Amino acid sequence: MKIVPFTDLPPSFIIEHLQGYHRSTCGGDEFQQHVESIVNIPALLRLIIERGRENVLRLEEKEIVDVLREHIGASGLSKKIISENLRVTVMLDKMDGVCAVCMREYKENDSIGTLICRHEFHADCITGRLLQKNACPLCRAIGVPI
């Protein structure tokens, strides 16, 4: 029997748990795709199970967005992907402020890594973070495109 990742539940439980509330709004194939999407996001699956069948439709948009935002940036990147996608520049002059990762001041000739959100960090510092999670440590937006 197949088990849903990060739970000890069979997929049929999830389908039975949601079908009365979701099947009426979409066709069978679309419903199956939604179920597969949900079981691949363990935190969202836990939220739905914790709320119970009666409250599935009452989930607040903010709760779902928070879970999805965490999931999107949940996995780290390889060094290859980081080196291909992180914009790195060398500072010619001293820059005001400190790196939010290491809390050291920026100095002349430092390599600076800039994320999609335009937050800047020492390139080595942000590379270390991106290896763990593809998210900006300040605003939690996706760090680099993949």
Domain assignment of residue 3, yes or no: no
pLDDT bin (cut points 50, 70, 90) of residue 75 is confident
Higher per-residue pLDDT: 36 or 91: 91
User: How many folded domains does the chain comprise?
Assistant: 2
User: Are 59 and 94 contained in the same domain?
Assistant: no
For residue 140, the model assigns a pLDDT of 84
pLDDT of 72: 53
**Are 93 and 48 in a shared domain?**
no
Which domain range does residue 103 map to? 79-132
Q: What is the CATH number of the domain that holds 102?
A: 3.30.40.10
Give the per-residue SS3 of the chain: CCCCCCCCCCHHHHHHHHHHHHHHHCCHHHHHHHHHHHHCCHHHHHHHHHHCHHHHHHCCHHHHHHHHHHHHCCCCCCHHHHHHHCEEEECCCCCCCECCCCCCECCCCCEEEECCCCCEEEHHHHHHHHHHCCECCCCCCECCCC
- Residue 138: predicted pLDDT: 92
pLDDT tens figures, 99-133:
999 999 999 999 999 999 999 999 999 999 999 88
Instruction: Based on the fold, state whether residues 64 and 18 are members of the same structural domain.
Output: yes
Is the domain of 98 the same as that of 127?
Answer: yes
Q: Give residue 2's pLDDT.
A: 45
Is residue 50 assigned to a domain? yes
From 72, 99, 119, the end of a domain falls on 72
Predicted confidence (pLDDT) at residue 43 exceeds the cutoff of 90: no
144, part of any domain: no
Same domain (yes/no): 84, 67: no
Of the pLDDT bands very low, low, confident and very high (cuts 50, 70, 90), residue 23 is: very low
| Between 122 and 96, residue with greater pLDDT | 122
Choose one of 48, 72, 96: the last residue of a domain. Answer: 72
